[in-house]
Amino acid sequence: MTDATCAPPRLKEGVAPGRLTLGPVQYNWPAEKMRDFYFRIADEASVDVVYVGEVICAKRAPFFAPHLSAVIERLAAGGKQVVLSTLAPVADAVEIRELQAQVAQNRGGCLVEANDMSALGLLAGRAHVAGPFINLYNGGTLIWLARNGARRVVLPAELPATAIAVLGRAAASLGSGGLGDGAGVEVEVQVFGRLPLALSARCYHARLAGLGRANCRFVCEKDADGLNVATVDGEAFLAINGTQTLSHTIANLLPEMPGMRANGVSHFRLWPHDIDMVGVADLCRAVLNDEMDGREATTRLAAVAPFAPFSNGFFHAVEGARMVGPTDVWQTD
């Protein structure tokens, strides 16, 4: 593979200024299923950037490793920019060594998405992506990340529209690796998928099965979109995925994409789920290209992703699980 394998895609004439990205698969899918999923994304999905790599549990990574090169090549042949995602909870010396090897190999010159502070340290001075598991909540952190070499930052899922707008405009004035050169730092926001909320040293799936993390038997593979968690009153509340806690609801910010694009957001992330992600991408692309209203896209999206209700509460600065109707969130004084 050459550096061209992972080069940013050129926007086709007539395509709106905004890129769709597909985050790494967060769940424990069988290796062949994940390979075929990425092959279909490469051939059919209208996404521009695809993130590949294990971000939740290092024990899962070896199963998919034999397919990684073929997946990267297939995605590149399909015109996708490939970004290699690193583990989010780096917990011991073995995982640190694996992280070091991943950064050093840098397959095909791909950008690396850092999801842990140790990865940011290894990538200092090199172009990279600061992932959604990095705590970026203010302009000072944004400046530090830019100086460290971040070309793109993926904002945490719980930020409201006001904070997204402030960081989006600030990023446009920065240059990766420095300040004030006008090159700008790209900003990415999740617009679809369960919200990643927290990570733990304890594996919830293993504990539920009466097992320890070291001998988990990979029971998380039974839940392709995470395992729903209910309150003692039986109300759907959260979802678990090994060591990860996610929202029960599916974030849906499709109607907000035009407003975000006008406020400095350049990349719009879809988290993979065990549904028709090509169909999800098509709906998002139609909204980005001003070919479909966000409300109509939401109606159609509900048929594609029926396993949980939608939410946009964090974006509107209310409870994250709520779904708020259209408001003038971008209106300024």
- Quick check: helix, strand or coil at residue 297? helix
Q: pLDDT digit string (tens) for 291-322? A: 999 999 999 999 999 999 999 999 999 999 99
Which of the pair, 7 or 172, is modelled with greater confidence?
Answer: 172
pTM here is 0.92
pLDDT band at 69 (very low <50, low <70, confident <90, very high): very high
Q: pLDDT digit string (tens) for 22-56? A: 999 999 999 999 999 999 999 999 999 999 999 99
Instruction: Find, among 108, 155, 164, 107, the residue nearest to 135 by Cα.
Output: 155
For residue 14, is pLDDT > 50? Answer: no
Tell me the C-alpha distance between 312 and 319, whole Å: 9
- Quick check: helix, strand or coil at residue 82? strand
pLDDT in the model for residue 91: 81
| Sign of the dihedral through C-alpha 304, 19, 188, 24 | positive
- Count of other CB atoms within 10 angstroms of residue 289: 13
pLDDT band at 5 (very low <50, low <70, confident <90, very high): low
Q: Cβ distance 187 to 266 under 8 Å?
A: yes
Tell me the C-alpha distance between 9 and 119, whole Å: 25
Mention every residue, 6+ apart, whose C-beta is less than 8 A from residue 77. Answer: 42
pLDDT in the model for residue 93: 83
Which whole number is the average pLDDT over 187-209?
94
Which whole number is the average pLDDT over 162-185?
78
Backbone angles phi, psi at 310, to 5 degrees: -85, 160
* Residue 150: HSE in the Cβ half-sphere, 13 Å Cα cutoff: 31
Share of the chain above pLDDT 70, in %: 89
Tell me the C-alpha distance between 198 and 244, whole Å: 6
Q: pLDDT digit string (tens) for 210-264? A: 998 888 999 999 999 999 999 999 999 899 999 999 999 999 999 999 999 999 9
Q: Cβ distance 128 to 112 under 8 Å?
A: yes
For residue 138, is pLDDT > 60? Answer: yes
| Sign of the dihedral through C-alpha 252, 199, 204, 213 | positive
Mention every residue, 6+ apart, whose C-beta is less than 8 A from residue 250. Answer: 192, 193, 194, 273, 305, 307, 308, 309, 310, 311
Which of the pair, 327 or 273, is modelled with greater confidence?
Answer: 273
| Sign of the dihedral through C-alpha 331, 195, 89, 39 | negative
pLDDT in the model for residue 11: 41
pLDDT band at 92 (very low <50, low <70, confident <90, very high): confident
Share of the chain above pLDDT 90, in %: 78
Q: Looking at domain 3-195+249-316, does it have CATH number 3.20.20.110?
A: yes
pLDDT band at 75 (very low <50, low <70, confident <90, very high): very high
Helices (H) and strands (E) in the chain, counts: 11, 14
Instruction: Find, among 252, 279, 201, 260, the residue nearest to 41 by Cα.
Output: 279
| Sign of the dihedral through C-alpha 41, 286, 183, 333 | negative
For residue 128, is pLDDT > 90? Answer: yes
Which of the pair, 177 or 87, is modelled with greater confidence?
Answer: 87
pLDDT band at 3 (very low <50, low <70, confident <90, very high): very low
